[in-house]
Amino acid sequence: MTNQDYEKIFHEIKNNITFINSSLQLVEKSHPEIKSYPHWEDSIQELSSLKQMLIELSSARLCNDLNTEKISLEIFLPELIRSFLSLFDSDSFHCRIALEPSLPQLYIDPHRFKRALFNLVKNSYEAMNGTGTIRLNGCISGSFIRLDLIDCGGGIASEYLPKLFSPFETTKEGGTGLGLLISKQMIEAHGGKLLVDSRPGDGCTFSIYLPCG
């Protein structure tokens, strides 16, 4: 099957999930007492997780289907952060961007790279409970542009690091375990790499390497 065929299948399944979710919301509105029934909230949460998993699997299918164009990080990153902050509407979460002067432009798929970076920022946001400041630092590193995303969350336990990019492995309640994997795949599809340095109790640094030119 082609990517277009898969997208049609994902779309149909997502529509069915949306219909079920809407029906359950109508039931809850008509019979609010049902919220006190055992496992009702768990069922709603599982349905929401299933929909999110489907969206992320759909994104994973398109990792190698890139439409690249020349972009400037000086323009791209502030726009991404503004989009993120407007979505989560938090006055307690901030981002500082520091880029080395005269960084070369990158040939990337802006939509795929935005999704990859958005997942990483969201991961830091959740690790910091929506409060604090992350830093995005960019510089030249050999034949790559290196972009460090530094947060001050709780870090990642050493025993979990080997499974960090494994599918369906997560320590988050309601998480799918796909967000970081998809970010890694999208970055690698651009000829780059994604590394992580964890400081348990102090935070994490995710380092993105993308080839210059």
Please write the tens of the pLDDT for every residue from 31-72: 888 888 877 877 777 777 677 667 666 665 555 567 889 999
- Asked if residue 180 and residue 134 are part of one domain, the reply reads yes
**Domain at 183, CATH number:** 3.30.565.10
Residues 121-179: tens digit of each pLDDT: 988 998 898 889 999 999 999 999 999 999 998 888 787 777 777 766 666 655 556 77
How far apart are the C-alpha atoms of 135 and 113, rounded to whole Å? 18
Q: Which domain holds residue 30?
A: 3-61
Q: Helix or strand or coil: residue 19?
A: helix
103 confidence band (pLDDT: 50, 70, 90): very high
- Asked if residue 98 and residue 48 are part of one domain, the reply reads no
Residues 6+ apart with CB under 8 A from 92: 130, 131, 132
- Asked if residue 95 and residue 188 are part of one domain, the reply reads yes
* 52, 44 Cβ separation under 8 angstroms: no
Number of domains forming the structure of the chain? 2
What's this model's pTM, rounded to 2 decimal places?
0.70
The pLDDT value recorded for residue 95 is 92
